[in-house]
Chain A
Amino acid sequence: QQPVQSPQAVILREGEDAVINCSSSKALYSVHWYRQKHGEAPVFLMILLKGGEQKGHEKISASFNEKKQQSSLYLTASQLSYSGTYFCGTEMTWNQGGKLIFGQGTELSVKP
């Protein structure tokens, strides 16, 4: 039931854009996105609920396609601070104590 993230790794130059995908074989209730710097704890970015909503956070936004059971994270005009590993956490139903199953991560490196 672990979601699959793609790509596994991506290297960008400052100012370039990137898309990270998170796909599930099971129906999803919500998708949570996190960024983790090396040696640190994951930091929350945003939650998307089923219903196909799209959310934005500065130059980082995300969408949730309920029909495809896929969420995409969009990073535009990337900055050096965007470097890190991005994880999606998926929730199958609302009544399981908020349990999240995380993807394997996408390592993003932004170069000057």
Chain B
Amino acid sequence: SQTIHQWPATLVQPVGSPLSLECTVEGTSNPNLYWYRQAAGRGLQLLFYSVGIGQISSEVPQNLSASRPQDRQFILSSKKLLLSDSGFYLCAWSGRGSLARETDTQYFGPGTRLTVL
């Protein structure tokens, strides 16, 4: 069965410090991968998605970046954190769908709660 891991689970960082969040998926190959951010009491904002190694699409211009160095690894980074970067960061994966149904379920990881002070 497929599982998705995120770490760390919680993180407290000072303003201006760098960030690296990691997400890995097991039990599947060639998944689509996604990074979302959820501010307190708010909805899910899509930040990046990737359909393959080295292929990253950015949805929101900001000081964050994403990379996919391996098929099942997705990394979210920042060189200098802002207060507004605080939130709940969720990684998700989906399959590629099929001819019968060209869409697939997104499964979310447990998330990383980031507080920038």
Which of A2, A87, A98 lies in contact with B103, CB distance below 8 A?
A: A98
| A101 vs B17: C-alpha distance when bound (angstroms) | 30
The reply to whether the CB of B97 lies closer than 8 angstroms to some CB of chain A is: yes
Total interface residues on A, CB under 8 Å, equals 25
Q: How far does the Cβ of A34 sit from chain B's closest Cβ, in whole Å?
A: 8
Question: Is there an interface contact between A91 and B103, defined as CB atoms closer than 8 Å?
Answer: yes
Query: Are B103 and A101 in touch, CB under 8 angstroms?
Result: no
User: When the two chains form their complex, are residues B104 and A98 in contact, meaning their CB atoms are under 8 A apart?
Assistant: yes
Q: What are the residues of chain A within 8 A of B103 when measuring CB–CB?
A: 29-30, 47, 49, 91, 94, 98
**Within 8 Å of chain A (Cβ to Cβ): is B105?**
yes
The majority secondary structure among interface residues of chain A is loop
Contact present for B102 and A94 (CB under 8 Å): yes
- Contact present for B97 and A98 (CB under 8 Å): yes
Instruction: Given A47-B103, A94-B103, A100-B46, verify A42-B57 contact (CB < 8 Å).
Output: no
Determine if A104 is an interface residue (Cβ-Cβ < 8 Å): yes
Identify the interface centre among B34, B43, B108, B109: most chain A CB within 10 Å of its CB: B43
Complex alpha-carbon distance, A86 and B90, angstroms? 16
Contact status B90-A44, CB under 8 Å = no
Q: Which of A47, A95, A104 contacts B43 (CB 8 A)?
A: A104
CB-contact partner of A41 in B43, B101, B105, B108, under 8 A: B108
As a 0/1 sequence over residues 41 to 68 of chain B, the CB contacts with chain A under 8 angstroms (1 = contact) are: 0111110011100000101000000000
Closest B residue to A100 by beta carbon equals: B106
Please determine whether A102 and B110 come into contact, CB atoms closer than 8 angstroms. no
CB nearest neighbor in A for B107: A44
CB distance from B68 to the nearest CB of A (A): 12
- Which residues of B approach A to under 8 Å, CB–CB? 32, 34, 42-46, 49-51, 57, 59, 90, 94, 97, 101-111
* 17 more A-B residue pairs beyond the given contacts A95-B102, A97-B49, with a C-beta to C-beta distance below 8 A: A2-B43, A40-B110, A41-B110, A41-B111, A42-B90, A42-B108, A44-B107, A49-B101, A49-B103, A97-B32, A97-B51, A98-B34, A98-B94, A98-B103, A100-B46, A102-B44, A104-B43
22 CB contacts below 8 A, A to B, read A41-B111, A43-B108, A44-B107, A49-B101, A49-B103, A87-B43, A87-B44, A89-B44, A94-B97, A94-B102, A95-B102, A97-B32, A97-B57, A98-B106, A99-B34, A100-B34, A100-B106, A101-B46, A102-B43, A102-B45, A104-B42, A105-B42
